[in-house]
Amino acid sequence: MDSNGINPCRASPTRWAEIPAELLDKISEYLPKLSDVLPMRMVSKHWNSVINSALEHRIMQQWTVWLPFIKLSNISHYPAIDLSPQMIYTWKKVDADYGSCLIREKDVNPFPNNFLNIHCIPSLLYSLQNRIEEKLNGFLAWHGNNLVSLTLVLTEISPDRFQKTLEQVPNLRAFSIAVMGKVRDLHERVKNTESRTEPLQPSPCSKLEYLRICQGTSVNCELIQWLLKLLAPQLKSLEIDGNELPPFDQEHYPVAGSFQKLKWLKIRYPPNLNFLRSGSAFRWSITNLSIQVLGPVVPMQGLLEFIDNFSGSLSNLYLYIEKFVHVEKPEEFLAKKASCFPKLLTLAVNGVGFRPVFQFVKTNFTPRFRNLKTLQLLDFQLGPSIHYGTWSEMLKKEAIQYCEHEGFWKSFPKLQKIEVYPIQLGMPGKGKFYYLQRTN
């Protein structure tokens, strides 16, 4: 054996039929288009098996790799089932496709990977809604136990149906749900079905760790409340894109151990002051927190208090806020809230230069982020009329001068790297950025 424990007698494979799975997986990463990867599944059984795993890994990364911003588009899952009216009306096509491809036999896994995207928008006729639910029920009853990740985009869903759906996917690890449509009906139906407003315990899908709730244009507070109450003790990652998040208090989450496993929290379009002032009742271990508010005014003092809930465990903080209201007496706030963030290593914040958000965050947080190693400056723009359409030497020079002028290296004694994301060109995890490293 050599130092790596590899058997010297084992010859390297010299045929592509025997290429190790991890390398074929690696090669597939260089094929960004699904249409180019899929033919590889048909080459041979070995390639089929490897590419299935690679596709599963690729989709699961949308959950397991931290991207601080919430994607505006839905989580991209394939395959998909379209249960919208035009597909129901042309039922023959549905049966032709799904009959041969999917609903083969009850105990056979019909999925190329263990992912599914079900979308159904919109249904205007109640009778049609029943038929859609019937179809969904039949399909998930047979095959739901194979699913690891599921995206549901629905016009509406009855509480009964929703509970059944969860019971039919016991192996689910990641779930994205968007309900957009007849909110009032749903609101009333959830409200009027007492037995359904109290979640089942224990949870019917005990492996579920990643949850994304995307509300589209409408609000369904009861559904969110019901779902979160059910899943709060087991979630590792929670993303909410909506403006009616129930406060993090024991009235809304009475189950013991709620949020004790939560590591990642992303909130987009949040919260009123009541929400921001909640959270102190729980023992948090959140490491990554992302707050994005585009549009509504954020009461900054509430925001600071909210973030303070996570001061003991937070290592990544991402703040993208368009408008905010100042703290009335920042000195008093700071004196009262003296918690520091010993584990905070990365801070991302927008509003560099002429915008006040960054200056405000800097004033309130800088003294408490003594161990910060990476500072990410988002939407880098030194004046309201400056737009950086292209990557340029001038932009790079401005970024360097700005960072020197602001004295970041002195403010954060352990800072090693500043990443500058010019407006319209990049965000953490995608696009372009410059990085500047400490030189002394």
Partner 1 sequence: MALVRVISSDGAAFLVSQRLAKRSGKLKTEIETFRKSSDNSEAQPEIRIVTIRAEILRLVLQWLQQHQNDPVLPANQNEQDGRGDAEMGQSQWDRDFLAPMDLGIVMELILAANHLEVKGLLDITCKLVESKITGRTVDEIRTAFKLKSDFKGNEEEQTRLENRWCVEN
The residues that touch partner 1, with contacts defined as CB under 8 A, are: 2-3, 6, 8, 10, 12-17, 19-20, 22-23, 26-27, 29-31, 33-36, 38-45, 47-48, 78-82, 97, 100-102, 110, 112, 117, 391, 396, 399-400, 426, 430-437
Rounded to a whole number of angstroms, the minimum distance from the CB of residue 285 to partner 1 is 27
Rounded to a whole number of angstroms, the minimum distance from the CB of residue 18 to partner 1 is 9
**Nearer Cβ to partner 1 (27/273):** 27
Rounded to a whole number of angstroms, the minimum distance from the CB of residue 175 to partner 1 is 19
Rounded to a whole number of angstroms, the minimum distance from the CB of residue 206 to partner 1 is 29
* Closest listed residue to residue 291, CA positions, set 228, 243, 234: 243
CA distance 244 to 269: 9
CA distance 204 to 379: 43
**Nearer Cβ to partner 1 (44/201):** 44
**Nearer Cβ to partner 1 (169/436):** 436
Q: How many CB atoms lie within 10 A of CB 284?
A: 20
Rounded to a whole number of angstroms, the minimum distance from the CB of residue 128 to partner 1 is 19
**What are 318's strand-pairing partners?**
290, 348
**Nearer Cβ to partner 1 (79/342):** 79
Rounded to a whole number of angstroms, the minimum distance from the CB of residue 406 to partner 1 is 16
Token duo for residue 384: 């309201």
241 φ/ψ angles, rounded to the nearest 5 degrees: -115, 90
* Burial tier of 181 (Cβ tally within 10 Å: 0-12, 13-18, 19+): buried
Angle, nearest 10°, between helix axes 126-143 and 159-168?
A: 20
Sign of the dihedral defined by the CA atoms of residues 40, 41, 44, 48, in that order: positive
CA distance 424 to 400: 19
* Closest listed residue to residue 358, CA positions, set 313, 320, 385, 396: 320
**Nearer Cβ to partner 1 (3/217):** 3
**Nearer Cβ to partner 1 (176/243):** 176
Rounded to a whole number of angstroms, the minimum distance from the CB of residue 81 to partner 1 is 7
**Nearer Cβ to partner 1 (101/125):** 101
Rounded to a whole number of angstroms, the minimum distance from the CB of residue 435 to partner 1 is 6
**Nearer Cβ to partner 1 (27/345):** 27
Rounded to a whole number of angstroms, the minimum distance from the CB of residue 436 to partner 1 is 5
**Nearer Cβ to partner 1 (39/257):** 39
Decide if 193 contacts 159 (C-beta within 8 A): yes
Which residues, 6 or more positions from 335, have their beta carbon under 8 angstroms from its beta carbon? Answer: none
Distances (CA, A) of 272 to 17, 183, 276: 58, 21, 6
Decide if 183 contacts 155 (C-beta within 8 A): no
Which string of DSSP letters, residue by residue, matches 304-359?
Answer: HHHHHTTTTT--EEEEEEEEEE--S-HHHHHHH-----TT--EEEE---TTSHHHH
Rounded to a whole number of angstroms, the minimum distance from the CB of residue 382 to partner 1 is 17
DSSP 3-state assignment of 45? helix
**Nearer Cβ to partner 1 (351/426):** 426
